[in-house]
Chain A
């Protein structure tokens, strides 16, 4: 007698199980399937090509009606099962259809997770799971309009690409800082975002949806930060949840999914759970490869073979968007026992990263060129020892077995016509010709004579190899000091390329400039963060984690881990109210030391980290803001009493000092900047050893700069004379901006000035009024984003995590 097999859900997993079962045990079971979707089994994975119009539904059907007839399967299309009666072994659908079973498979898949924000039930809010969703999206697309896709994972991005193909404009909202962060490291996520943006898809990361609004149907999506995006449809693709409700109601063991043993049996041995709804070994799977393995096990078990058991699998991911090649597999985190090999080819948009442990591949991320993905994945699964091919591994399978690839040999082998510099169209022959004919020995020489690598600079490596190949050991490339071991580029090149290539984030710089580490180091990250802050005001979002602790918590760390707090005292002036507030704060928080600093203000030393917000709140309340005593930024403006009081004072030095400080506070600079204004040449404010100093004279203002009185002692140079206070201010501000744009990170003004030369500084900020004005205006513009008191921001809750412990454990209760 045939046994009765009932299946709930007609997705890809049970489809595969039945194929296997009919192969091994044809005729053993009579099969009944209930499917909530009113259709046969189709390839859900291929919904994206259907959405983008590249395929039709017919193309993706796995089992057509004929297949069900051939195997005498009773398929209830559009029947959702609402009850499993385990006692009588009967299932019942919503419409009342019933079927008895000897064996039951629950294969109900997953349900899309819908973020329960206000408005999520409005018409026009869709999910992306089945053909109905695709049809709804295609229908909406006919009216063009704007689609907002919430979720920048695999599904969301495929939906976005499909919708833009259908003629809609599309915004993708993603909560994490980079796309597909579960499959991709930030560098690959960045490349992907760039490519999607090139296709016209707007991508907003760190986007937290607050609400969806509309009267009859969706009209807009509102974000936490106040952004409002108009929307004709909203597609939520933020994740899936195992559809395990039916199992739970039937009293089966259920965690996230329906719990099964490694034979895919639930807590009731007559019932299997299979596919995305099943939880095996504590894991639920959402890609078909492991689900197909599960299907094989269920089929074997039904056929009486109880030997097969599910083994957890690695899965590889590909994004199915035509023209975007992306592949990721395994584990790509870093760790002490891991090594990484990174290959970046900025020109070709290629990024590859392999993670090795004990010489075996444990993870791979490939972008732009993924042909070797399966090969790497194969080695990952087989735990292949890669020691032998280590040097060429990242180049892929094609380079194995043959002679190892030496980059020098590769360049030497290029024909003379091969183009080296794409920007300026310079071929190899022209470069090698110039090297020999003109006796060039440096990269700068080649740039000057041939223009090769003089624009975007991304062929610099090739040009250097040509120099090397042509000159042999006579070539000494060490002329440029790299920023740090993460890169070959020096600070100047990095600054130039950030502008030339429009790089606006740290991952962007690291990718385009072929960083050798995935995450930089404590040397390069703060420098890059400064360059980006300075070069893209208003566009670049400061990366707090790339700042030194002092700049992250806006106080100076002390040797015992406490902090010092220095409020601004504009131009060194204070008053009883401020002094009282400082005294009160010192009492209230039991601050152990109060000191007058060398910079004409008061330092509160020994503040506990967790007290910082409280201290700031009280100082803010008395009208004081951060003195930035910690910052690579404007520090103090020392003044003397000047014409207000002093019998020798020629101008209002105190007033100018205050004006300068109020104008310039908050600005980030390559290294700290200290100013002083003295009221006469007696120079009581010590203006002639400052970064920028003003000495007032009867006829106006002598502006000095490039002094030092710390590690080095150096008197200032006289830059120029200004007749009015306004003119003095404009020159000082322009000078500071020039310094901000040109200097290397941590280079004080006197060192920068020595490097670039006073004449070039004069030409930019003194002799040419238009240029001066332009620098001045760029500074003013940047200040609109910089003059926010960091203390007040934090008192209001920014970075609250910085100031509180994550958890507290009390004293252990009496040990046993």
Chain B
């Protein structure tokens, strides 16, 4: 069974923005879209390790701040001509509270 850890309130993240969750093995970027969907992905661009949480969020995608690769937040796949992907982590939102699967948080990039 999955253990879920509460990581905070959805309003702690601006719409079309992201915040990070620090874990022993790296940062996880938690995104909130314009339409209040929440996604979590590894905060590390596969290109040259850009912090994806700092990118511009549009639709359900983010553009890496360093060299503009675009990632789909739901799948973690790079879009367009670029090839690569980031890990995604399961998230649940209940009554505006965001939960992350505990294993994800603790063994982020094992």
By a beta-carbon cutoff of 8 Å, the part of chain A in contact with chain B is 177, 185-186, 332-338, 517-522, 525-526, 544-549, 552-553, 557, 559-561, 801, 805-812
Q: State which residues 5-50 of B face A: CB under 8 Å.
A: 5, 7-8, 12-17, 19-24, 27, 30, 33-37, 48-50
Partner of A561, one of B36, B49, B75: B49
B35 touching A809 by the CB < 8 A rule?
Answer: no
Given contacts A335-B37, A517-B58, A520-B58, contact A809 B75 (CB under 8 A): no
A544 touching B66 by the CB < 8 A rule?
Answer: no
Given contacts A333-B35, A334-B35, contact A517 B59 (CB under 8 A): yes
Give the residue name and chain of the B residue nearest to A520 (CB): B58
Partner of A805, one of B5, B20, B48, B107: B20
Given contacts A545-B14, A801-B13, A801-B19, contact A335 B60 (CB under 8 A): yes
A808 touching B13 by the CB < 8 A rule?
Answer: no
- What are 25 A-B contacts with C-beta separation under 8 Å? A177-B15, A332-B35, A333-B33, A333-B35, A333-B37, A333-B60, A334-B35, A335-B60, A336-B75, A338-B60, A519-B58, A519-B59, A521-B63, A522-B63, A526-B56, A546-B56, A557-B66, A561-B51, A805-B22, A806-B8, A806-B19, A806-B30, A807-B21, A809-B106, A810-B24
Give the shortest distance, in Å, between A738 (CB) and chain B (any CB): 29
B74 touching A337 by the CB < 8 A rule?
Answer: yes
Give the residue name and chain of the A residue nearest to B48 (CB): A559
B24 touching A811 by the CB < 8 A rule?
Answer: yes
B78 within 8 A of A: no
Chain B interface size, as a band, is 35 or more
Give the residue name and chain of the A residue nearest to B79 (CB): A336
Inter-chain CA distance A553–B18, complex, in Å, is: 13
Inter-chain CA distance A545–B56, complex, in Å, is: 7
Given contacts A336-B72, A519-B34, A519-B59, contact A809 B14 (CB under 8 A): no
Inter-chain CA distance A807–B7, complex, in Å, is: 6
Closest 8 CB pairs between A and B? A336-B74, A522-B63, A806-B19, A545-B16, A549-B54, A333-B35, A522-B56, A807-B7
Give the shortest distance, in Å, between A66 (CB) and chain B (any CB): 44
Inter-chain CA distance A520–B33, complex, in Å, is: 12
A525 touching B13 by the CB < 8 A rule?
Answer: no
Given contacts A522-B68, A561-B49, A801-B12, contact A809 B22 (CB under 8 A): yes
Q: Which residues of B contact A333 (CB under 8 A)?
A: 33, 35-37, 60
Partner of B23, one of A338, A519, A561, A809: A809
Give the residue name and chain of the B residue nearest to A547 (CB): B56
Give the residue name and chain of the A residue nearest to B30 (CB): A806
Give the residue name and chain of the B residue nearest to A518 (CB): B59
Give the shortest distance, in Å, between A365 (CB) and chain B (any CB): 11
Give the shortest distance, in Å, between A312 (CB) and chain B (any CB): 16
Q: Which residues of A contact B16 (CB under 8 A)?
A: 519, 545-546
A545 touching B24 by the CB < 8 A rule?
Answer: no
Q: Which residues of A contact B21 (CB under 8 A)?
A: 805-809
